[in-house]
Structure 1
Amino acid sequence: MNKAAQLERLLGERILILDGAMGTMIQGYKLAEADYRGERFAAFAQDLKGNNDLLSLTRPGLIGEIHDAYLEAGADIISTNTFNSNAPSMADYGMEGLVYELNRAAARLARTAADACMHGAPERPRFVAGVLGPTTKTASISPDVNDPGFRNIDFDTLVAAYGESLRGLLDGGVDLILVETIFDTLNAKAALFAIDCAFEARARSWPIIISGTITDASGRTLSGQTPEAFWNSVRHARPLAVGLNCALGAKLMRPYIEELSNVADTYVSCYPNAGLPNPLSETGYDETPDYTSGLLLEFAQSGFFNIVGGCCGTTPAHIRAIARSVDGIPPRQVPQIEKRLRLSGLEPLNIGDDTLFVNVGERTNVTGSKAFARLILAGNYGAALALARQQVESGAQMVDVNMDEAMLDSEKAMVTFLNLIASEPDISRVPLMLDSSKWSVIEAGLKCVQGKAVVNSISLKEGKDEFVRQAKLARRYGAAVIVMAFDEQGQADSLERRQTICRRCYDVLTGEVGFPAEDIIFDPNIFAIATGIEEHNNYARDYIEATRWIRANLPYARVSGGVSNVSFSFRGNDAVREAIHTAFLYHAIHAGMSMGIVNAGQLGVYEEIPKDLRERVEDIILNRRPDAAERLVAFANTVKGGGRVQVEDLEWREQSVEARLAHALVKGITDWIIEDTEEARQQAERSGGHPIHVIEGPLMDGMNVVGDLFGAGKMFLPQVVKSARVMKQAVAHLVPYIEAEKQKLALASGEAAKPKGKIVVATVKGDVHDIGKNIVGVVLQCNNYEVINLGVMVPASKILQAAREEKCDIIGLSGLITPSLEEMAHVAREMEREGFTIPLLIGGATTSRVHTAVKIAPHYSGVTIYVPDASRSVGVCSSLLSDGLREEYARSVRADYDKIRTQHQSKKPSAPLLSIAQARANAFNTDWSAYTPTAPKFIGVREFRDYDLGAIARHIDWSPFFQTWELSGPYPKILQDPVVGEAARNVFAEGQAMLAKIVAEKWLAANAVVGLFPANSVGDDIEIYTDESRSRVAMRFHNLRQQAQKPTGKPNYCLADFVAPKGSGVKDYIGAFAATSGIGIEARVKEFEARHDDYSAIMLKSLADRLAEAFTEHLHQRVRREFWGYAADETLDNEALIREEYRGIRPAPGYPACPDHTEKGDLFRLLDAPKLGITLTESYAMWPAAAVSGFYFSHTESQYFAVGKIGPDQAEDYARRKGLPLSDIEKWLAPVLAYDAVPSTAT
């Protein structure tokens, strides 16, 4: 077995140990100038002290001793003493001519040491890593702050330098190459380019490890990339491992190595510094071997790496301690990462089937933008950069750069502009598309881009040999490619030619070049339509059909195009061009178009195109009639560019300003709050007081009344939230005066009243639901607590960072979906790991007292408390922060939770579960031979955009609306409730008023997609087919079966029971849907929040939720009556619909009948839901939050049920059917497991 194969085998078996710092050990020898010079360089003209790499020639015995020490300490891999053995670095000493010799000598020293060690212990292989350091230059950053486009080294010089170093390392006998301490990814890409060239020249390859450096707490490299963006930029090299080293100690490196570990589909290495620099320490760094090894042990237990070692400040003692600490810990399992087009600027852009259409900015193109061309020709690059920035700010996710102008030196212009872009983080955060008809211009651009760019374009135009040459170079530079449908005979201008050329290119790229299919983007040619030439009539339709064919037949490839070409015949008529672009994109995206070069300013909303114009535009796009062009041209010439009056009681306006403020707060009236607050401020000023006294006095007095009334049950949540709105607006008016006075008078510390406590609240990572959390925040603020609301989808690291920086007293976590429960446990583990002691509050719809006690609290030694609703939050916080109550309250909670855990552990199920085989034997059975399913009216998907909100609103179920405001009771009875009736009537009236505005002013847009498909069950799963041939499975819907013992005659249900089995001969069907009424909600919520109007923000979110559910109810009714038609005669009113008196069911993934949230992933791909603006988070929460998705079943006996608890046999079977590790399945199905799965420590 060769060394590379040995290395790969060992990585699968255990964590491998890398050596520690070479420089730190050399420093310990306290060498003098003479030691560096030796005899050979005794008369050298320059000072050589500090040139550690030279010691491989002048003190080889010393370097050998260091290697021996690390091998003895347990290192499996030792690194050559070549960190600076490259021409740019050696130029500082005038020793560029020694580079090859230095690398070869250092490699031989390490080789000798490793071989000697293996001679004594042949059963344990040792490996030599040839180090390629970062050099002392940077290709992405200007060393001159006054000239951001200047570079002191270029890509070609770096490639030559690395090539020379590499030659010495390989000739010296290294086993692998280590490209390390990467602070500029462009430097690393030059090294990888040189490596690939060397491997090709030698007709063999060596394993590569790539190690980046996160320079500070920003979580980025020196050149600005995030860990995932860095990985996307270098993964083309197919390294054995990727990792991080240097700059940070292990403690600070943790979130970044965790991020890299989650996204890298290869092995991961980690070798941090021994903490932070400390000149008083013997090694120059803070951490002892035991401390560093303890941190890295936790990394290993969390499954973060496969290779571990040390960087600056580490010694053989550190490596020995690290080796001992991780001994026996299983190595990280390399994850299976979905194949996506993974691009990067400073940040990643990952494009998959669930990604919305990607806009490529087109205005930085001299051939397409006269303004840009004029600026570039005039040398006004600053203004040209402003155009690029404007595109990114307008939503471009990628920027196309083209410099093909006859009067330009295109290569020079491309290099100049890209170097300037690299100095502008707000532009360079997105990936670049390098666009030119000249390969030399594209290649010049590739040498300037540290991220993963897109080449636009290559083709077979100049023959296969040149196509292959360019493709190999693009891959070597680490770029994706746009492939034009163009061959030796010219551009493809028919569907058949498009298909033939794209198939040929795909086969050459994937089969002969080894180009990743996911990095191929086809451009099947968008040509101008309505030209008057009959042969052009099918151009748009053929592009759309070619797109559909590519996505179906060329796996993982994407489709792009220059959209503005299609409307070229109508240049000068922007209204018609916009309509053409919008309608064309609508159909092309539906067919599978992934991205396009498009001016977002020339796009409209498909549904808003006037019907007569849209009809004519689609006639030419789809070539529906022979006179389509004439009709549109003719049309284009016409297109250039009683309530009751209520008397309000204003008597309270005659009272004192203090009374008016209190009245406004209690009643939630904002009409006069600013002028009353200003009057109170001026009054305080005249009496010698300060603006802060208005808050401390009348405003807090009023809020105390609100708190007392709420606590006594005499005031209800909607009123409290409105009171908070009044308070916020008053305080916002006073803040500028308070700040000005602080600066002017330097008020004595402690004069201002302090809040009762400071609380961080957040919806955890992967979850987007925040209504309840926001209500809790408002209630706490009303009771004089300072609340820091971090929003939604907040990772643990950000929560804990905020808690530390803000010196918070309490952390509150919220979540609605079941995967959030595990994320809450993860936050608890992180709090424990980082030494927090403050209380942790848990809340949200899926949380419970039992779950908190059993699954979350054990991970954290601080007190963890479940808070069921907003009304309890004040009492809990008050007890936790009271000096007199804190200890006793925490003790009672812990005792209560201990009791719950004991009861849970000793709890015996009322009856043991059936085995999955027994449960299946007791499945629901029906006589399928006597059942004839109704065939739907259409097969496939139907989209609904900007649906009539008025029609939706008629189906609202109002009872959950009151529950949002913590008002209990069914609608409409709640309106007459003797306790909460008045509050219910008020909030209902205001909800109705806002709903009327939502509908009339179109505050929100409602989009949905409904799919109806042939289907049959296969065991407990349902195969969903693309068409009536039932030959191709579009989705396999995996289901779970009840395993509880049932009374005689009662079946163990599974949703698959309601669909005819595949072998029955019965052609059955299933429906699927995704709907949202939340499009546009974020902008409106931000408007309310900017006005300090939490009440309206929460009201809008609650109404959006109600509309989403109503939309779902309405669509389901239409499916039953019209689209599927199995209940065409149904005449149920809204109350009957709410009572679910209709035939059929619509179960949703994540709910009792199908508790697995991950099924939403396949459901969304089946429906292409992201195209409607509905997406999924990593925890499968839907965004916008006001969204619903699920399936339609039509069987007469289909019914809702709860799967309940399942046993390990079904979990194992389910994991096998889904093709996922059992640990993943147990994570997602944790709430329904009837056994305690071994928890994962990594997320």
Structure 2
Amino acid sequence: MNWQNNLPGSLLKGRILILDGAMGTMIQRYTPSFPPGNQGNNDVLVLTQPDLILSIHKEYVQTGADIITTNTFNANAISQKDYGIQDQVYRMNFQAARLARQSGALLVAGSMGPTNKSASISPDMNRPEVRATDFATLVKAYREQARGLKEGGIDLFLVETVFDTLNAKAALFAISEEAPGIPVMLSATIADNSGRILSGQTIEAFLVSTAHSGLFSVGLNCSFGPDKMLPFIRILSRFAPGFTSAHPNAGLPDMFGKYTLSPDIMAQQVKAYVDEGLVNIIGGCCGTTPEHIEAVASMVRQNQAPLRRVTARGDESQVQKITLSGLEMLTVREEPAFLIAGERTNVSGSRKFARLIREKQYDQALEIARGMVRDGAHILDVNMDDPMLDAPTAMREFLFMLGSDPEVARVPLMLDSSRWEVLEAGLQCVQGKSIVNSISLKEGPGAFLRKAKLIKQYGAVPLVMAFDEQGQASTRERRIEICTRAFRMLVEQAGFEPHDIILDPNVLAVGTGMEEHRHFAVDFIDTVRYLKQNLKGALVIAGVSNLSFAFRGNETIREAMHAVFLYHAIAAGLDLAIVKPGAQPIYSEIPEPLRRAVEDVILDTDAGATSRLIEMAATINGPGQQEAGTVTREAWRDLDAEERLHHALAHGIEEYLEEDLEALCTTPAIDIVEHTLMEGMKRVG
């Protein structure tokens, strides 16, 4: 949503806005009395000592704050349950908003903290699949808080001090349900010098994971003083769409817990944010006072640096086709690129994985996921559709296991199921931006759009199967018809950007011996070419294993078919494929007779192609036969030095590297890099 023309947005076009400072620090200065059982519960003071809270708000307004935040950081049912007053949450938020409104502030922001529980981090290091709270509980708590703030009269929501993106996504979901017309400021807190939040995400991944909400601004708060926060604000400002904010601490606390950065020094350090044009909103967090805000406001007024430029999508040099995230950001840019979604974390595609999930041997199942990431999977496809499983529970538990393993959790996920309740269970467990595999027009446009809008609300990407009310598409014409219809509905009625749509035109089995199946592969490839040329921005995916179903049991033929199919589909524009990482032979290294036989079937060159491949398949893997597609070590070692390097690079063989490079000692190093090695890279793809 474009907030640039509403009141806050209009103000920010002309100047930097000043956010207030710490409420907790000021409450401590006045040493209030708390009700019995509520010692330290600052939020309850809006009910028991409203004059104190109002006076603090007014101090900040008088010293230059444009935006006053409500005293509601912990005013949610989850946090207030610790004090036994969770039934007072609505009253607290309503009253807090009214008090802030009475302060004379230009704008009032309703503060929503992260709660004291995490949806992504296990409270028990010995049980990584356990969570202290869940998405639905968080959404319920945040909805009640949002309702009180909205009805109390706020101008903005401020979801702040985010240490877990899944908690933040729950808050954003709740606001979209309860108060969709009110702008939202979002602010994360960095855990340490790594630049990640506590739940493990990088700043870039955090931005990707929350961009679906049409935020008014995104920023950083707490964490450090202004000087230590500066490099992270630079990263955020580069990638953030829309306005940016920063409200750092007054340095770091000393041994007595006091923040020691003086107002003047803080203003000097914040000046770099203004000089470099990094932020649109500046305030203070822990340890800051009206004196700090006055010094910062004075510095901003006197500064003549140009305002931060706001673009629709952040840094224009970062134009991409799609951006996904796990703990880290995965971006596909406009240059040719191809992504692999690992298929072995699918109970339908791996007997071993299915057995491990049924036996709840999650540690061993996790090792399969690790193996795929190490073998080059960019995305992990997770499917629990097994009649022997409670699929929603299995999906939740395994996703929590994945999320607790940094090696695996860094990559995005593809949530795969034929059942919507399983997909939604998965969406409520992932903090990153995932792919939902899949939705279709099978149940008509109403059900399709309802699911699509929920996918967007959860911050995910829809994968659309070429399937409608009439059934599955199996011809080029029907594939194009359904994909085009779905694409237009997603863009025009569900609000998706084209690059956030993935189309699956259905890979169907060839080589079955049935005449009507002959065109399936070549029609798919032609469909890919059409979709890439006509549905600009959309991505196209292939579930490759279906292609070779007729040759199940003969892995040599199957792998050759997959490699040849992908070679031609990628050339036509295919963006993603669901495959077993590292298992596909290199197209150019498939023995020529086998490659030609497979290619004839894939491209449907003539009526006898299937018969020839079936005859060849009967001779492969039989007694005394060497597998087709296999080049023995002795055979490739007889090639010349350049070809040996090509082969070693394609197959990851390091054993003979020194020997083969020595054989090229008379070749200039630049030629080895630009010709020999680059040719090998081309073969890898």
TM over 0.5: yes
User: What residue in structure 1 maps to residue 51 of structure 2?
Assistant: 61
Larger mean Cα displacement after TM superposition, 442-451 or 141-150: 141-150
User: What residue in structure 1 maps to residue 644 of structure 2?
Assistant: 1001
2:157 aligned residue (154, 174, 177) = 177
1:302 aligns with 2:300: no
Measured in 2, the distance between the counterparts of 1:326 and 1:495 equals 61
3-state secondary structure, aligned to 2:595: helix
User: What residue in structure 2 maps to residue 321 of structure 1?
Assistant: 295
Amino acid at match of 2:10: R
> Cα–Cα, structure 1 residues 408 and 636, in superposed 2: closer, same or farther, change >3 Å?
same
Measured in 2, the distance between the counterparts of 1:569 and 1:133 equals 55
Measured in 1, the distance between the counterparts of 2:270 and 2:61 equals 19
Matches within 5 A, 1:384-423: 384-423=365-404
Measured in 2, the distance between the counterparts of 1:325 and 1:415 equals 50
3-state secondary structure, aligned to 2:6: helix
1:254 aligned residue (215, 230, 255) = 230
User: What residue in structure 1 maps to residue 306 of structure 2?
Assistant: 330
User: What residue in structure 2 maps to residue 237 of structure 1?
Assistant: 213
User: What residue in structure 2 maps to residue 583 of structure 1?
Assistant: 564
User: What residue in structure 2 maps to residue 881 of structure 1?
Assistant: none
1:113 aligned residue (88, 103, 106) = 103
User: What residue in structure 1 maps to residue 16 of structure 2?
Assistant: 15
1:287 aligns with 2:285: no
Measured in 2, the distance between the counterparts of 1:438 and 1:591 equals 31
Q: Shift of residue 1106 of structure 1?
A: 2.1
User: What residue in structure 2 maps to residue 134 of structure 1?
Assistant: 114
Measured in 2, the distance between the counterparts of 1:12 and 1:217 equals 32
Q: Is the 8 Å Cα contact of residues 484 and 535 (structure 2) preserved in structure 1?
A: yes
Amino acid at match of 1:170: K
3-state secondary structure, aligned to 2:261: coil
3-state secondary structure, aligned to 2:377: coil
Measured in 1, the distance between the counterparts of 2:226 and 2:526 equals 53
3-state secondary structure, aligned to 2:619: coil
Measured in 2, the distance between the counterparts of 1:90 and 1:639 equals 69
Equivalenced residues, count: 658
Q: Shift of residue 475 of structure 1?
A: 0.4
Q: Shift of residue 998 of structure 1?
A: 3.9
Larger mean Cα displacement after TM superposition, 377-386 or 455-464: 377-386
Matches within 5 A, 1:166-205: 166-199=146-179, 205=181
1:368 aligned residue (349, 369, 373) = 349
3-state secondary structure, aligned to 2:288: coil
> Cα–Cα, structure 1 residues 82 and 1085, in superposed 2: closer, same or farther, change >3 Å?
farther
Deviations along 1:1102-1151, one digit per CA (max 9) or x if unpaired, are 84522466789xx9xxxxxxxxxxxxxxxxxxxxxxxxxxxxxxxxxxxx
> Cα–Cα, structure 1 residues 213 and 1102, in superposed 2: closer, same or farther, change >3 Å?
farther
Matches within 5 A, 1:1165-1204: none
3-state secondary structure, aligned to 2:104: helix
Larger mean Cα displacement after TM superposition, 553-562 or 158-167: 553-562
Measured in 2, the distance between the counterparts of 1:135 and 1:24 equals 19
Measured in 2, the distance between the counterparts of 1:292 and 1:207 equals 29
Deviations along 1:488-528, one digit per CA (max 9) or x if unpaired, are 01111000000000110011110011122211000100011
Q: Is the 8 Å Cα contact of residues 319 and 334 (structure 2) preserved in structure 1?
A: no
Deviations along 1:1159-1201, one digit per CA (max 9) or x if unpaired, are xxxxxxxxxx997779xxxxxxxxxxxxxxxxxxxxxxxxxxx
User: What residue in structure 1 maps to residue 250 of structure 2?
Assistant: 274
Measured in 2, the distance between the counterparts of 1:1000 and 1:604 equals 16
3-state secondary structure, aligned to 1:36: coil
Deviations along 1:719-766, one digit per CA (max 9) or x if unpaired, are xxxxxxxxxxxxxxxxxxxxxxxxxxxxxxxxxxxxxxxxxxxxxxxx
2:494 aligned residue (498, 504, 513) = 513
Q: Is the 8 Å Cα contact of residues 356 and 1171 (structure 1) preserved in structure 2?
A: no
User: What residue in structure 2 maps to residue 454 of structure 1?
Assistant: 435
Q: Shift of residue 10 of structure 1?
A: 2.0
Deviations along 1:998-1055, one digit per CA (max 9) or x if unpaired, are 42632589xxxxxxxxxxxxxxxxxxxxxxxxxxxxxxxxxxxxxxxxxxxxxxxxxx
Matches within 5 A, 1:417-432: 417-432=398-413
1:36 aligned residue (24, 34, 50) = 34
Q: Shift of residue 279 of structure 1?
A: 4.3
User: What residue in structure 1 maps to residue 634 of structure 2?
Assistant: none
Which has the bigger relative contact order, CA under 8 A and spacing at least 6? 2
Measured in 2, the distance between the counterparts of 1:294 and 1:511 equals 48
3-state secondary structure, aligned to 2:223: strand
Measured in 2, the distance between the counterparts of 1:543 and 1:286 equals 66
1:557 aligns with 2:557: no
User: What residue in structure 2 maps to residue 1130 of structure 1?
Assistant: none
> Cα–Cα, structure 1 residues 209 and 456, in superposed 2: closer, same or farther, change >3 Å?
same
Q: Is the 8 Å Cα contact of residues 570 and 577 (structure 1) preserved in structure 2?
A: yes
Q: Is the 8 Å Cα contact of residues 15 and 330 (structure 1) preserved in structure 2?
A: no
Q: Is the 8 Å Cα contact of residues 320 and 332 (structure 2) preserved in structure 1?
A: no
2:462 aligned residue (475, 481, 500) = 481
Amino acid at match of 2:87: G
| Greater C-alpha Rg | 1
Amino acid at match of 2:271: L
Measured in 2, the distance between the counterparts of 1:222 and 1:98 equals 30
Matches within 5 A, 1:932-951: none
3-state secondary structure, aligned to 2:89: helix
Measured in 2, the distance between the counterparts of 1:1170 and 1:323 equals 55
User: What residue in structure 2 maps to residue 213 of structure 1?
Assistant: 189
Normalising by structure 1, we get a TM-score of 0.51
Q: Shift of residue 6 of structure 1?
A: 2.1
Uncovered stretches (5+) of structure 2, i.e. residues with no partner: 623-638
Amino acid at match of 1:332: R
3-state secondary structure, aligned to 2:430: coil
> Cα–Cα, structure 1 residues 364 and 154, in superposed 2: closer, same or farther, change >3 Å?
same
Q: Is the 8 Å Cα contact of residues 147 and 179 (structure 2) preserved in structure 1?
A: no
3-state secondary structure, aligned to 1:271: strand
> Cα–Cα, structure 1 residues 597 and 1081, in superposed 2: closer, same or farther, change >3 Å?
closer
Q: Shift of residue 227 of structure 1?
A: 0.2
Measured in 2, the distance between the counterparts of 1:497 and 1:631 equals 29
> Cα–Cα, structure 1 residues 450 and 1110, in superposed 2: closer, same or farther, change >3 Å?
closer
Amino acid at match of 2:536: P
1:340 aligns with 2:321: yes
- Please give the root-mean-square deviation of Cα atoms over the aligned residues, in Å: 2.6
Matches within 5 A, 1:644-659: none
User: What residue in structure 1 maps to residue 74 of structure 2?
Assistant: 84
Deviations along 1:578-617, one digit per CA (max 9) or x if unpaired, are 1101010011111111111101243010111111111111
Measured in 2, the distance between the counterparts of 1:1173 and 1:618 equals 19
3-state secondary structure, aligned to 1:366: coil
Matches within 5 A, 1:461-476: 461-476=442-457
Q: Shift of residue 355 of structure 1?
A: 5.4
3-state secondary structure, aligned to 1:243: strand
Measured in 1, the distance between the counterparts of 2:161 and 2:618 equals 63
Q: Shift of residue 356 of structure 1?
A: 2.7
> Cα–Cα, structure 1 residues 1170 and 101, in superposed 2: closer, same or farther, change >3 Å?
farther
1:265 aligned residue (241, 248, 259) = 241
Measured in 1, the distance between the counterparts of 2:281 and 2:408 equals 35
1:1105 aligned residue (648, 651, 670) = 670
Q: Shift of residue 30 of structure 1?
A: 2.0
Q: Is the 8 Å Cα contact of residues 268 and 306 (structure 1) preserved in structure 2?
A: yes
Measured in 1, the distance between the counterparts of 2:183 and 2:587 equals 52
3-state secondary structure, aligned to 1:518: helix
Measured in 1, the distance between the counterparts of 2:265 and 2:494 equals 48
Q: Is the 8 Å Cα contact of residues 467 and 482 (structure 2) preserved in structure 1?
A: yes
Q: Shift of residue 353 of structure 1?
A: 2.8
Amino acid at match of 1:93: Y
Identity of aligned residues (%): 50
Q: Shift of residue 441 of structure 1?
A: 0.2
Matches within 5 A, 1:1034-1053: none
